């Protein structure tokens, strides 16, 4: 069944093409457009389900093998490239060769040693040669889809959550004149996102990457008649360009280093490259840096996060699908996909962890003071993405993906819930005008409740499992030396998250019904679409529950947000290891995570980059030969010195490994409870407290309320400088270039005047002088010659004849006369 | 100038009166039978010069015509003299000059007719036959 995955991206594309190309011309009804869109996504979801089942769990399951569609034999050549020279990573490659020869020699020596000698250990001298050979490869990029653990999860999330959101959107966008356009863009987005996560090489990921960027731009600017939407779309596009630049450079680096873009080949080669500990900038660190810049742009990490809150100018389903559930997790997908490259560079792992933690706290503190319900959710998304980056940075890639999944459930749920609220409130987004909606929108309230508990991290909702695992991974990490700082920052951010989410709940669903007394200053600009609500009978806007097409997806997502976390249940609850076999997401993802200690993929399932098990491939020398003793319970840290480790310190106090994790779980639950209690205290129990504390912490409040002036800073540092540069260029253009043109024109005019003068006075003068000379002096002579008398002409002729005779016969005549005279005289 | 004329004409006179002392009639006859070519050529040249001088100097157009006839006849004389001379030297077929002379006479007659016609036409228009009064070539 998994051989049909090529249909998965194709179906949304077909739906989008039908809707987009024919929807307007043939005047499709909303029902038809929605049917085509939802149908195509539903079909894609079903195919995905069947494919993943047959790939991983069915009778013919090939997990953990990687399935690439080009394995089937047909030609999938997309870009037939030319020869590529390896211009980068030559020293690393030669070190790999040296290490391999050393390992062979070591194995030979070990075989000859006696057991005592083995225990003592021995030294060997390795011939270190600089055999950096000039190698080249043929770059032939194929268009093929790859099905493995990572892409399965992303395909399921994208199509599954996407399906819910599509259904929701048919209700939410009801009555919008651009209905067909909306669903065409959404379908195109689904196609691009699926190409992104299903492509088997970096270039396909790049195509999907740019495709989702384009669709994001189109959909943020969906209400293009609104200036803030148009500006937000441009802002998102331009900010993403910065990240894409880094991504493109990283792809060039990959091609120059590995000569291919196919994941399996690249990672198979990279797995043997030497590690680059903290502070070493080898080629893989640079590639990882480029990839990370790309991930920062797409996943809205500091300092490229500025576009995501503004992106809320788009319709709410777009915010849910693109800017919460799927597209912004593309950075996480890339990080996890290229975890081999990242794990080679301890520097970049540290950078990822620190940036993720900083973003998590930064965005969470902004979220506390925002009043727009979608803005709060947007900053919450940025914060949660920071958590995911944190997980990747501390080496827990599977947990990061786990959080991507749970976040997709509960954040899509909350965005759709917010959309339902906005719909019910007649396009009111300001939480200060809401309150007490529990009574009016029971379904929305109940589902939102599930999302709230999930994001706050309350056991047993999905968010708890993933976020707790992230914090535990940060505390116990052996990858980066700053794990304890990351844990502290993450814990504070989690507290803030619980606080602002409780605030959102309180301001929206609980408490006083503020919309009743605020009707008169209801801003008219908020009613943009949905003219059917603008009837005069709606003088006082009473919120109403949304139609089933909107709350049913909410219910589905609420169920997922509640129970979705059990696929990654914490080992602390199950006796210290991940239970459930492949059904556990950590085990499921294990074969795609590279292990820097064994230099193979996976910790439980040791496989190569194609997913083949070690009995099929030659087992690595380090694991088979060097470890004569049984494998340690805890392998040495991958990068040598690991620095202060919070979990180890705690473990040395409580003396039990599982108990250590329980301690951290309790801390995590406590801070979540603290945040929620504070929120309840501030916004339910004593509603006067927020103003008091805002006044007390005025500078902090202002900084948070104004989003730390990042936009202003960028406006000053980037936009203004760009404008200055543009102005300078314009000045140069108008002064120097135009001046040169005008100057040359003036010079030409001057030159023409000079030549004109010369012409008039010198050339004409000469001609006139000659004419005058001829006229004045020569003409009397010539005129005199022309007498008009025939005889004069005849005389001239005779004279000419005489002259001719004298000339020709003069000598003869003279001699004749001489002879004559001589005879006579 | 007189000296020049004398120098030129003296040989001519000398030719005419050279052989006076011998049997006169026989000599004349002899000369007539075997004329000296140069004498004919000299006479032809004189005729030609007289004609040219007439054409160039006379104002009456009729006289100019007559001068032209003189020139033509000078040419005829040369033709015939040369023809005769060639026959004397043995080439009995050299009659082209004599035929040419006949042609020239015919052409001269035709030319005279046309020329006199032109003169008459001219006279009718201008009422003059003095060429120095006919200067319409200079317009």
Q: What's the pLDDT score for residue B139? A: 62
Which residues of chain A lie closer than 8 angstroms to B7, CB-CB? 821
Work out the minimum CA distance from B135 to partner chain A, whole angstroms.
5
Are A368 and A299 in contact, with CB atoms under 8 Å apart? no
Nearest residue of chain A to residue B52 (CA atoms)? A798
Distance, CA of A604 to CA of A619 (rounded, Å): 15
Compute the distance between CA of residue A486 and CA of residue A360 in angstroms, rounded to an integer: 10
Query: A793-802, long-range: CB within 8 Å, 24+ apart, which pairs?
Result: A793/B137, A794/B55, A794/B56, A795/B56, A798/B52, A798/B56
Task: Please report, rounded to a whole number, the percentage of residues in chain B having pLDDT higher than 70.
Answer: 79
pLDDT bin (cut points 50, 70, 90) of residue A351 is: very high
- Please give the CATH architecture assigned to the domain spanning B37-139: Orthogonal Bundle (1.10)
Q: Is residue A531 part of a domain?
A: no
Q: What are the residues whose beta carbons fall under 8 Å from the beta carbon of A445, sequence distance 6 or more?
A: A437, A438, A509
Query: In whole angstroms, what is the distance from residue A437 CA to residue A162 CA?
Result: 27
Question: Which residues of B fall below an 8 Å CB-CB distance to A?
Answer: 7, 10-11, 14, 52, 55-57, 131-132, 134-139
| CB pair distance less than 8 Å for A794 and B138 | no
Average pLDDT value for residue range A637-656: 76
**A519 and A541 in contact (C-beta within 8 Å)?**
yes
A468, A477, A672, A652: which is closest to A573 by C-alpha?
Answer: A468
Asked whether A357 and A493 are in contact (CB, 8 A), the reply is: yes
- Taking contacts as CB-CB distances below 8 angstroms, the residues of chain B near A789 are 131-132, 135, 137-138
> d(Cα A683, Cα A679) in Å, to the nearest integer?
6
- Quick check: A688 pLDDT over 60? yes
Strand bridging mode A146-147 / A594-595: unpaired
Closest to B137 (Cβ–Cβ): which among A790, A820, A824?
A790
A825: confidence class by pLDDT, cuts 50, 70, 90: low
Interchain pair A794, B55: CB under 8 A? yes
Domain count along chain A: 2
Pairing between β-strand A146-147 and β-strand A136-142 as defined by DSSP bridges: unpaired
Q: Are A376 and A434 in contact (CB under 8 A)?
A: no
pLDDT(A814) > 60? yes
Verify whether the Cβ–Cβ distance B135 to A791 is below 8 Å.
Answer: no
Separation of alpha carbons A135 and A415, rounded Å: 52
A790 to B136: CB separation less than 8 angstroms, yes or no: no
Average model confidence (pLDDT) across chain A = 84
pLDDT at B74 over 90: yes
Distance of alpha carbon A585 from alpha carbon A149, whole angstroms: 9
Comparing A715 with B78, the larger pLDDT belongs to: B78
Share of chain A above pLDDT 90, in %: 34
Q: Which residues contact A481 (CB under 8 A, 6 or more apart)?
A: A278, A350, A641, A642, A643, A644
Per-residue pLDDT band at A123 (split at 50, 70, 90):
very low
Query: What CA–CA distance (Å, rounded) separates B134 from A789?
Result: 7
Average pLDDT over residues A553-574: 87
Where is pLDDT greater, at A627 or A339? A339
Is the pLDDT reported for residue B25 higher than 50?
A: yes
pLDDT tens, A39-52?
999 999 999 999 99
Structure tokens at A61: 């399951």
Residue ranges of the domains in chain B? 1-34, 37-139
pLDDT, mean of residues A441-465:
89
Which of A652, A677, A702 corresponds to the end of one domain? A702
Q: Which residues pair with A138 in a beta bridge?
A: A83
Among A686, A702, A718, give the residue marking a domain's end. A702
Asked if A208 and A194 count as a contact pair (C-beta separation under 8 A), the reply is yes
- Mapping DSSP onto H, E and C, the string for chain B reads CHHHHHHHHHHHHHHHCCCCCCCHHHHHHHHHHCCCHHHHHHHHHHHHHHHHHHHHHCCEHHHHHHHHHHHHHHHHHHHHHHHHHHHHCCCCCCCHHHHHHHHHHHHHHHHHHHHHHHHHHHHHHHCCCEHHHCCCCCC
Q: Closest-CA residue in chain A for B60?
A: A791
Q: In A373-428, which ranges are continuous DSSP H helix?
A: 373-393, 397-424
DSSP string, A704-766: HHTGGGHHHHHIIIIIHHHHHHHHHHHHIIIIIIHHHHHHHHHHHHHHHHHHHHHIIIIIHHH
Q: What is the mean pLDDT of residues A644-648?
A: 79
Other CB atoms closer than 10 Å to residue B25's CB: what's the count? 7
Coil, helix or strand for A82? Answer: strand
Burial (CB count <10 Å: 0-12, 13-18, 19+), residue B134: middle
Question: Which is nearest to B67 in space by CA: A791, A352, A256?
Answer: A791
pLDDT of residue A590: 86
Compute the distance between CA of residue A279 and CA of residue A351 in angstroms, rounded to an integer: 11
- Contact assessment for residue B74 and residue B48, using Cβ atoms and an 8 Å cutoff: yes
Instruction: Write down the pLDDT at residue A617.
Output: 47
Question: Which tens digits make up the pLDDT trace of B28-65?
Answer: 777 667 777 888 899 999 999 999 999 988 888 899 99
User: Is A729 a member of any domain?
Assistant: no
Residue B19 confidence (pLDDT): 52
A825 Cα to chain B: minimum distance (Å): 10
A788 closest CB neighbour out of B14, B56, B135: B135
So what's the pLDDT on residue A624? 40
Lowest mean pLDDT among A59-68, A509-518, A735-744: A509-518
Q: How far apart are CA A139 and CA A84, in angstroms?
A: 6
Q: Which of A672, A702, A732 is the last residue of a domain?
A: A702
**Mutant choice from A789, A794, A796 vs B, greatest count of B C-beta within 10 A:** A789
Quote the minimal CA–CA distance from A764 to chain B in Å.
31
Q: Angle at CA A178, nearest 5°, toward A172 and A179?
A: 45
For residues A122 and B78, which has the higher predicted lDDT (pLDDT)?
A: B78
Determine whether A642 is exposed, middle or buried from the number of CB atoms within 10 Å of its CB (0-12, 13-18, 19+): middle
Tokens describing residue A625 = 């030969």
Nearest residue to A694 (alpha-carbon basis) of A510, A523, A503, A452: A503
**Contact across the interface for B138 and A788, Cβ inside 8 Å:** yes
CA dihedral sign of residues A109, A115, A119, A120: negative
**Of A317-321, A513-517, B80-84, B124-128, which range is least confident?**
A513-517
Q: Which helix (H) or strand (E) holds A141?
A: strand A136-142
Instruction: Using CA atoms of B16, B18, B24, B28 in order, give the dihedral in degrees to the nearest 10.
Output: -50
Q: Where are the beta strands (DSSP E) in A28-114?
A: 67-68, 77-85
pLDDT the model gives residue A124? 42
For residue A131, which phi and psi values (nearest 5 degrees)? -90, 55
- Does A125 reside within a domain? no
Q: Is the pLDDT of residue A133 over 90?
A: no
Q: Which residues of A touch B (CB under 8 A)?
A: 786-791, 793-795, 798, 820-821, 824
Q: CA nearest A789 in B: which residue?
A: B135
Contact B135 A787 (CB under 8 A): yes
Residues A408 and A298 in one domain: yes
| Dist. CA A459–CA A491, nearest whole Å | 16
Question: pLDDT-derived band of residue A744, with 50, 70 and 90 as boundaries?
Answer: very high
pLDDT at A325 over 80: yes
Tokens 């006859």 sit at which residue? Answer: B29
Residue A454 pLDDT > 80, yes or no? yes
Instruction: Give φ, ψ of A67 to 5 degrees.
Output: -105, 120
CA atoms of A333 and A202, how far apart (whole Å): 12
Same domain flag for A380 and A500: yes
* Structural element, H or E, at residue A99: helix A90-112
The two tokens of residue A787 are 């007498």
Band of the pLDDT at A545, cuts 50, 70, 90?
A: confident
Contact A2, A58 (CB under 8 A): no
Of the spans A255-264, A303-312, A743-752, which averages the highest pLDDT? Answer: A743-752
pLDDT of residue A742: 93
pLDDT at A138: 79
Which of residues A559 and A113 earns the better pLDDT score? A559
**Cα(A482)–Cα(B73) distance, integer angstroms:** 141
The torsion of the CA quartet A604, A606, A612, A617, rounded to 10 degrees, works out to: -150
Copy the structure tokens of residue A823. 């005879």
Residue A801 and residue A680 share a domain: no
Is B134–A790 a contact, with Cβ atoms under 8 angstroms apart?
yes
What integer pLDDT is reported at residue A183 of this predicted model? 92
| Domain with A684 in it | 89-118+178-425+444-525+540-590+608-702
- When pLDDT is averaged across residues A334-342 and rounded to a whole number, the result is 92
Give the count of Cβ contacts less than 8 A between chain A and B.
32
Query: Could you tell me the two tokens for A630?
Result: 């049984």
pLDDT for res A533: 46
A782 contacts in chain B (CB < 8 Å): none
Taking CA atoms, A794 is separated from A65, A697, A784, A791, B56, in Å, by 123, 130, 16, 5, 7
Residue A105 is predicted with a pLDDT of 74
Calpha distance A84→A137 (Å, rounded): 5
- Smallest Cβ–Cβ distance between A798 and the set B11, B52, B131 belongs to B52
Predicted local confidence at residue A260, as pLDDT: 86
Residue numbers in B near A821 (CB within 8 A): 7
Measured from the Cβ of residue A134, the count of other Cβ atoms closer than 10 Å reads 8
- For residue A136, the cross-strand partners are A85
Residues A694 and A804 in one domain: no
Over range A655-666, report the average pLDDT.
Answer: 82
Helices (H), A545-600: 548-563, 585-589
Instruction: Give the gyration radius of chain A's Cα atoms.
Output: 41
Q: Which of B6, B13, B133, B135 would you mutate first to test chain A, the one with the most A CBs within 10 A?
A: B135
Helix (H, G, I), strand (E, B), or coil: what is residue A427? coil
Instruction: With a cut of 60, say whether residue A626 has pLDDT above it.
Output: no
Q: What is the predicted pLDDT for the residue at A288?
A: 93
Question: How would residue A629 be classed by pLDDT, with cut points 50, 70 and 90?
Answer: very low
The pair of three-digit structure tokens given for residue A447, joined into one six-digit string: 């589902």
pLDDT over threshold 90, residue B105: yes
Neighbours of A97 (CB within 10 A): 14
Are the C-beta atoms of residues A394 and A461 closer than 8 Å to each other?
no
- Angle between helix axes B96-126 and B61-88 (nearest 10 degrees) is 180
| Strand A600-601 versus strand A594-595 pairing type | antiparallel
Residue of B nearest to A797 (CA): B56
pLDDT digits (tens, 9 = 90+) for A692-737: 888 888 888 888 888 888 888 888 888 889 899 999 999 999 999 9
DSSP state of A28: -
Where residue A132 falls among pLDDT bands split at 50, 70, 90? very low
Q: Which residues in chain A have Cβ-Cβ distances shorter than 8 Å to B131?
A: 789-791
Mean pLDDT check: name the lowest of A43-47, A89-93, A173-177, A182-186: A89-93
Q: Is the peptide bond before A346 cis (omega within 30 degrees of 0)?
A: no
Question: Does any domain span residue A713?
Answer: no
Lowest mean per-residue pLDDT among A222-236, A444-458, A644-658, A670-684: A644-658
SS3 state of residue A459? coil
Secondary structure tally for chain A: helices H, strands E? 33, 6
Contact A184, A28 (CB under 8 A): no
Is A71 domain-assigned?
no
Q: What is the mean pLDDT of residues A161-172?
A: 91
Please report whether residue A152 resides in a domain.
no
Beta bridge partners of A607: A601
């Amino acid at each position: 069944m998994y051989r049909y995955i090529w249909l998965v991206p194709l179906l949304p594309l077909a739906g989008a093409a039908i809707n987009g190309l024919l929807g307007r011309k043939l005047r499709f009804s909303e029902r038809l457009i929605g049917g085509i869109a939802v149908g195509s996504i539903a079909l894609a979801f079903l195919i995905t389900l069947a494919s993943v089942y047959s790939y991983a769990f069915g009778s013919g399951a090939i997990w953990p093998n990687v399935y690439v569609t080009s394995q089937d034999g047909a030609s999938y050549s997309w870009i037939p490239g030319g020869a590529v020279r390896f211009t980068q990573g030559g020293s690393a490659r030669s070190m790999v060769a040296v290490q391999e020869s050393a390992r062979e020699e070591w194995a030979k020596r070990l075989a000859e040693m006696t057991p005592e000698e083995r225990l003592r250990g021995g030294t060997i001298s390795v011939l270190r040669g600089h055999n950096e050979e000039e190698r080249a490869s043929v770059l032939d990029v194929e268009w093929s889809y790859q099905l493995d653990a990572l892409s399965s999860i992303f395909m399921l999330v994208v199509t599954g959550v996407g399906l819910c959101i599509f259904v929701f959107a048919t209700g939410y966008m009801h009555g919008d004149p651009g209905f067909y356009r909306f669903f065409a863009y959404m379908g195109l987005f689904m196609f691009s996102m699926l190409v992104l996560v299903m492509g088997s090489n970096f270039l396909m990921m790049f195509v999907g990457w740019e495709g989702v960027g384009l669709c994001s731009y189109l959909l943020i600017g969906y209400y293009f008649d609104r200036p803030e939407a148009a500006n937000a779309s441009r802002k998102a596009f331009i900010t993403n360009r910065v990240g894409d630049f880094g991504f493109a450079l990283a792809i060039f680096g990959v091609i120059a280093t590995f000569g291919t873009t196919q994941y399996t080949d690249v990672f198979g080669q990279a797995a043997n490259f030497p590690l680059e500990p903290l502070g070493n900038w080898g080629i893989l660190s640079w590639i990882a840096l480029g990839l990370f810049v790309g991930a920062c742009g797409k996943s809205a990490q500091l300092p490229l996060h500025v576009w995501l809150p503004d992106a809320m100018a788009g319709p709410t389903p777009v915010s849910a699908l693109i800017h919460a559930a799927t597209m912004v997790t593309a950075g996480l997908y890339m990080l996890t996909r290229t975890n081999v490259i990242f794990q080679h560079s301890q520097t970049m792992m540290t950078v990822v962890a620190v940036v993720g933690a900083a973003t998590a706290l930064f965005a969470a503190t902004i979220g506390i003071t925002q009043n727009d319900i979608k803005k709060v959710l947007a900053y919450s998304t940025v914060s949660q993405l920071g958590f995911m980056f944190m997980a990747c940075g501390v080496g827990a890639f599977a947990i990061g993906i786990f959080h991507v999944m749970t976040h997709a459930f509960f954040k899509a749920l909350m965005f759709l819930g917010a959309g339902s609220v906005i719909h019910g409130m007649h396009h009111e987004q300001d939480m200060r005008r809401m309150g007490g909606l529990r009574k009016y929108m029971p379904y929305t309230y109940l589902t939102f409740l599930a999302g709230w508990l999930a994001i706050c991290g309350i056991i047993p909702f999905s968010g708890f499992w993933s976020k707790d695992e992230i914090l535990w991974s940060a505390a116990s990490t052996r990858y980066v030396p700053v794990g304890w700082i990351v844990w502290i920052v993450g814990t504070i951010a989690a507290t803030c998250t619980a606080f602002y989410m409780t605030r959102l709940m309180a301001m929206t669903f609980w408490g006083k019904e503020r919309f009743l007394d605020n009707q008169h200053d209801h801003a008219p600009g908020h009613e943009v679409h949905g003219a059917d609500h603008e009837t005069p009978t709606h003088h006082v806007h009473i919120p109403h529950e949304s139609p089933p097409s909107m709350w049913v997806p909410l219910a589905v997502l609420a169920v997922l947000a509640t129970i979705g976390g059990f696929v990654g249940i914490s080992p602390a609850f199950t006796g210290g290891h991940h239970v459930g076999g492949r059904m556990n997401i950590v085990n499921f993802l294990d074969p795609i995570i590279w292990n820097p200690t064994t230099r193979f993929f996976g910790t439980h399932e040791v496989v190569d980059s194609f997913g083949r098990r070690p009995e099929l491939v030659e087992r690595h020398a380090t694991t088979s030969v060097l470890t004569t003793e049984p494998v340690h319970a805890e392998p040495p840290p991958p990068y040598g010195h690991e620095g202060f480790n919070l979990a180890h310190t705690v473990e040395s106090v409580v003396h039990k490994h599982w108990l250590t994790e329980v301690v951290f779980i309790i801390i995590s639950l406590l801070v979540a409870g603290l945040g929620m209690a504070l929120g309840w205290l501030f916004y339910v129990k004593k509603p006067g407290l927020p103003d008091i504390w805002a006044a007390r912490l005025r500078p902090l409040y202002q900084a948070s309320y104004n989003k730390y002036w990042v936009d202003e800073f960028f406006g000053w540092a980037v936009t203004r400088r760009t404008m200055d540069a543009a102005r300078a260029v314009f000045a140069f253009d108008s002064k120097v270039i135009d001046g040169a043109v005008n100057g040359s024109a003036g010079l030409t005019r001057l030159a023409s005047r000079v030549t004109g003068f010369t012409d008039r006075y010198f050339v004409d003068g000469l001609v006139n002088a000659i004419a005058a000379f001829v006229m004045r002096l020569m003409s009397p002579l010539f005129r005199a010659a022309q007498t008009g008398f025939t005889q004069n002409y005849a005389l001239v002729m005779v004279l000419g004849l005489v002259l001719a005779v004298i000339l020709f016969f003069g000598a003869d005549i003279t001699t004749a006369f001489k002879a004559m005279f001589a005879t006579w005289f | 100038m007189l000296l020049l004329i004398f120098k030129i004409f003296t040989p001519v006179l000398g030719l005419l009166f050279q052989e006076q002392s011998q049997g006169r009639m026989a000599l004349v006859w002899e000369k007539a039978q075997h004329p000296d070519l140069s004498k004919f050529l000299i006479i032809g040249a004189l005729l030609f010069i007289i004609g040219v001088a007439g054409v160039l100097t006379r104002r009456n157009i009729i006289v100019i015509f007559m001068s032209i006839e003189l020139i033509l006849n000078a040419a005829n004389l040369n033709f015939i003299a040369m023809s005769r001379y060639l026959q004397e030297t043995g080439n009995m077929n050299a009659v082209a000059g004599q035929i040419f002379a006949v042609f020239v006479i015919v052409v001269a007659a035709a030319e005279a007719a046309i020329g006199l016609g032109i003169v008459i036409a001219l006279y009718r228009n201008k009422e003059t036959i003095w060429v120095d009064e006919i200067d319409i070539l200079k317009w």
